[in-house]
Amino acid sequence: MDRIVPLNLALHDRKSFTNKEESIARYLHQQAAQDVKRGYARIYILAATDNPARIAGYMSLNAHAIDTTTYPPEIRKIFGSRRIVPLIELGRLGVDTSCEGQGIGKALVFYAIQLMATNSAGAAGLLVKALNPGLIGYYEKLGFTLVPGDQDYLFLDRRIAELMPGEG
């Protein structure tokens, strides 16, 4: 999707973004700029079709690693003998309340999957934490599986992502 671009702090209007989940809007308003400047996260936005400065949706991606020794055997076998496994974490995902129901969240998730699958630095998969139980089914429909023993985190194996058709 050609409207998904890195957050431009000088162009994109972060203050007018609203979301039902207050923490999603607050992150974009107050923390995203600092995370971008410090290199802690990459923020991608999907611009509104009527105004390229207006943010219809956004996501944050950051490096993450897991210690596989804390996971059950069915997860550890995915990673072979590696104890510490690099991942990309989809840290935040939000759609402006005025743009809900237009497939923006799905487009952003598939863009994150595409970035992870083509990441030259290497990552074993994409990890996401569901902010509420209602989001678990949403991510499962997109190919993620719950991490056994952790009701909040879902994982998409890189090998599966590489087989997925392009979306958007």
Q: CB within 8 A of 33, min separation 6: which ones?
A: 9, 14
Question: pTM score, two decimals?
Answer: 0.86
Q: Could you tell me which CATH class the domain 4-163 is placed in?
A: alpha beta
Q: What is the pLDDT of residue 79?
A: 80
pLDDT 10s digits, 60-84: 999 988 888 877 787 778 788 888 8
8 Å CB contact between 10 and 54: no
Strand spans (E) along the chain: 4-6, 42-48, 51-67, 84-95, 125-129, 145-146, 153-157
Q: Which two tokens stand for residue 27?
A: 């992150």
Give the model's pLDDT for residue 25. 97
Q: Could you read off the pLDDT of 113-138 as tens digits, one per residue?
A: 888 888 756 788 889 989 888 889 99
